[in-house]
Structure 1
């Protein structure tokens, strides 16, 4: 028969585990992410305000498997750096991480366009060749820049959803299994030509995906708080079990803006235990407004 002392120890241990779980969840809800480098507007990591009370992820935009000669053409998974590498160099990655222990830096793959507005298509020659090229080239970039993760942001496709799922899933598996990266994310949005690819990936390899950077700013301008919450619940259902992050753009794009109630929606989600973090597109566009919404977002996350 258990002694009172053992029962007390068991109770204390249970409380310890529960409290640590709640603390872990609270920390996860303080995640802030920001895309940077796509527009080449001379934005540096050091320009962006960083609140020490949040987990901060910079997402370098973009690494693309296209040639850098006009006209750009697909390279079957052979990625190269297209972000502003003068201002966002390997040494600057190391410097911002050394200065801020809460900062991690990842790279986002593909994006919308390359060069003179040429659409970036996911266009593999075969699953095996694309994966082999992607593993080699991404590992090289990760090591050169001392990166922590990858984000998948293909928005145009010349393959079927199953091929996309298999290529990206195998890539993620290798990078995580071999500790090349510590986290991964995807950046889907609501469109019949996009969402099926990410849902196919989620169904088969969702266990390898840490965050869903859902592009809520791709919804129409003038989105209301109630509409936003409905959209969030829909996408949470689509990516069931995943950490769906809320988002807005500072480029004048659509969705629910901070001026129209974004943080009100965040407050509601937080009370419901559904707020996993916030991300912004993008630092390049925010510079002209002195990053006011970056400050507000991080203050909101840190003030819980």
Structure 2
């Protein structure tokens, strides 16, 4: 091919490229702050938590679980019930906090570690029946509470990864399509079984998942800054293209703590344009120290990103 024809061919290829390929923009620094609330029944209220007006703030109610509430704690195949502290975190209190802070959104998290005295298992009868029940029951709760999104935090499974992926993926797809939610997140941690389930979900439905609330506090207590940075890079590879948020646990029981360099790691990520947000487990425990690290987290995020 002579030069003029080659030039024309390359020009046509460049013009047509966008219509044939979808190029996802890489995530960038964000001012997103998220906090789990209500799982431990310590009478914490939305209004207890300091809110910086210069961040995007998400409360995550913990948890809605597809188990019955009668005390026998049996799975209900996608029929979700409220298991958070609904006395202090009620629909009227959701409305109050959102009406007084335009930067606040409220989500609910599904599953969690335990229910009653046992584990909370993801335990569908069939994909179709679970999805149907989950869409119906969650739509009711989300609309009753005027919520904005969901978080997926199942940690124990009586189903294979592909079944989990189809159930959760179809649930998110339907809730978004119906306008019931505007965002969805997942909350995996570094455990082989957990990762197998969430990576299967990511592979098929990652394009519908807005945030990855990776539980970095599930790593060993005493994690160093350099270890944390390595963990972040590993999980960013596992959830390629996703907004992997960094995290700490209020009681200091695991991972990289604020006292040991968490904010140093955040600043390093910010300098690399990889600080996609911070989340905390949880407001229930942070109440005891006056939400000191929530204030620091939000101040760091509020600086121009």
TM-score, normalization: structure 2? Answer: 0.90
What CA distance in whole angstroms lies between the structure 1 residues aligned with 2:58 and 2:235? 22
What CA distance in whole angstroms lies between the structure 2 residues aligned with 1:77 and 1:56? 28
Residues 46-195 of structure 1 mapped to structure 2, 5 A cutoff:
46-116=47-117, 118-195=118-195
Tell me the alpha carbon deviations over residues 162-186 of structure 1, each in whole angstroms, 9 at most, x when there is no partner: 0000000000000001110000000
Tell me which residue corresponds to 2:291.
291
How many pairs are equivalent? 280
Tell me which residue corresponds to 2:31.
30
Q: Does structure 2 retain, via aligned residues, the 8 Å contact 1:148–1:182? A: yes
- Partner-residue secondary structure (3-state), 1:193: helix
- Partner-residue secondary structure (3-state), 2:135: helix
The structural deviation recorded for 1:192 is 1.0
What CA distance in whole angstroms lies between the structure 2 residues aligned with 1:163 and 1:48? 37
What CA distance in whole angstroms lies between the structure 1 residues aligned with 2:270 and 2:222? 22
The structural deviation recorded for 1:68 is 1.0
The structural deviation recorded for 1:115 is 1.5
- Partner-residue secondary structure (3-state), 1:109: strand
- Partner-residue secondary structure (3-state), 2:192: coil
Q: Does structure 1 retain, via aligned residues, the 8 Å contact 2:28–2:273? A: no
Tell me which residue corresponds to 1:15.
none
Q: Does structure 2 retain, via aligned residues, the 8 Å contact 1:68–1:115? A: no
What CA distance in whole angstroms lies between the structure 2 residues aligned with 1:136 and 1:71? 23
Structure 1 unaligned blocks of 5 or more: 1-20
What CA distance in whole angstroms lies between the structure 2 residues aligned with 1:120 and 1:53? 36
TM-score, normalization: structure 1? Answer: 0.90
What CA distance in whole angstroms lies between the structure 2 residues aligned with 1:131 and 1:253? 35
The structural deviation recorded for 1:70 is 2.4
Tell me the alpha carbon deviations over residues 5-26 of structure 1, each in whole angstroms, 9 at most, x when there is no partner: xxxxxxxxxxxxxxxx99x955
- Partner-residue secondary structure (3-state), 1:179: coil
- Partner-residue secondary structure (3-state), 1:206: helix
Q: Does structure 1 retain, via aligned residues, the 8 Å contact 2:217–2:254? A: yes
Structure 2 unaligned blocks of 5 or more: 1-24
Q: Does structure 1 retain, via aligned residues, the 8 Å contact 2:183–2:210? A: yes
What CA distance in whole angstroms lies between the structure 1 residues aligned with 2:138 and 2:71? 23
Divergent runs of 4+, >3 A: none
